[in-house]
Amino acid sequence: MSSVTDSPSKTTRSDVLTALGFVIAVNVVGASPAFVFGADTGWIERPWFFPPEFVFPVVWTTLFTLMGVALFLVWRAGTERREVRVALAVFGAQFALNLAWTPVFFGLQRPDLGLVVIALLFPAVAATVVVFDRVDRRAALLLVPYFVWVGFAGVLNYAIYAA
């Protein structure tokens, strides 16, 4: 059962600035492992469907932006609500898994362990979509492209591991 936020509340300048803060924070934290561990793909035997290099930063910036907006929508529903606190905790857990993938895959150059991280991340993202939907359907829908991309990343990671 979804208890979607139905009341159309007026968006204030403060809301816009707070949402922007969430977007910037998710992008900075989300991109930080790539800055620390790099994202060199020179050691990878690329499968035929490996996207061009420029696709990854564009896709991740878009996904992190959508995650930031979704996170703001859930947070704005009020942290005094249990379902909001649960949604924020589940988001934090899946985001930690997301952050773990880069050091494992690129830092250690271990596609096998990267696959393990994605095997944990994929259901964690699904769970995040479900708990976000209980708070705000829009927030859940904003995470669907992320869920699809993580599925693609799992297939890509497996193809690299199997090569």
Degrees (nearest 5) of the Cα angle 52, 150, 88?
130
pLDDT digits (tens, 9 = 90+) for 79-101: 999 999 999 999 999 999 999 99
Range of weakest confidence among 40-49, 57-66, 75-84, 137-146: 40-49
Q: How many residues does the chain have?
A: 163
Q: What is the pTM of this model?
A: 0.91
The separation between the first and the last C-alpha atoms of the chain, rounded to the nearest angstrom, is: 43
**Residue 65 to residue 31: CA distance in whole angstroms:** 11
**What's the pLDDT at 40?**
86
Is the domain spanning 13-36+55-162 CATH 3.40.1190.20? The answer is: no
- What residue segments make up the domains of the chain, in order of their start? 13-36+55-162
pLDDT digits (tens, 9 = 90+) for 121-153: 999 999 999 999 999 999 999 999 999 999 999
